[in-house]
Amino acid sequence: MRRVLLIAMMIGMGVTASASLDQNTTHLNATEPAVKSELKIPTDVVLSNCMLKAGVYTITCDREMVTFVLKSTGEVAVSLPCQGAALKDKIKETSAIYEKQPSGYIVLDKLYLKGSNIEHVF
């Protein structure tokens, strides 16, 4: 019986430690500046569960959601929750990190928006 209780406590402590690690990899939305920027995406890329076509996008982060709008049509391509680690300083230039998958698809992995201090991840 004690062994079962000990195992249950260890599992509980592991879950708590895991949850606190996840909290350290995110940020407090209230301290984040709202930003709007443009990004030219050179090729079709996967973002979360959608495909962004190549083109110029206006990207807005209102602290809660990151919204991608195709500039040529004004169409909202996708809106995703704002999440990612807080950075020490504000970003000086908008940029994106792409990662090629074994399947051949290219994924937008990280997004840095000018004026923001968040490493946006999706």
State pLDDT tens for residues 4-42. Answer: 433 444 444 444 333 333 434 465 566 667 899 999 999
The residue assigned the tokens 């110029």 is 56
Domain assignment present for residue 101? The answer is yes
* Per-residue pLDDT at 63: 86
The residue assigned the tokens 């004690």 is 2
Q: Using the predicted structure, report yes or no on whether residue 101 has a pLDDT greater than 60.
A: yes
Domain assignment present for residue 40? The answer is yes
Q: Using the predicted structure, report yes or no on whether residue 89 has a pLDDT greater than 80.
A: yes
The alpha carbon dihedral of 79, 56, 74, 115 has a sign of positive
* Per-residue pLDDT at 8: 42
Measure the CA–CA gap between 59 and 26, rounded to whole angstroms: 20
The structural domain count of the chain equals: 1
* Per-residue pLDDT at 26: 60
Domain assignment present for residue 64? The answer is yes
* Per-residue pLDDT at 70: 97
Domain assignment present for residue 22? The answer is no
Q: Give the β-pairing of 50-52 and 118-121.
A: unpaired
* Per-residue pLDDT at 33: 79
Chain mean pLDDT for the chain: 82
Amino acid residing at 65 = M
Domain assignment present for residue 47? The answer is yes
Q: Is 92 exposed, middle or buried (0-12, 13-18, 19+ CB in 10 A)?
A: exposed
CA 100: distance to chain centroid?
A: 17
Domain assignment present for residue 82? The answer is yes
Domain assignment present for residue 13? The answer is no
Tokens standing for residue 63: 């602290």
Q: Which residues contact 20 (CB under 8 A, 6 or more apart)?
A: none
Q: Provide the domain limits for residue 34.
A: 29-121
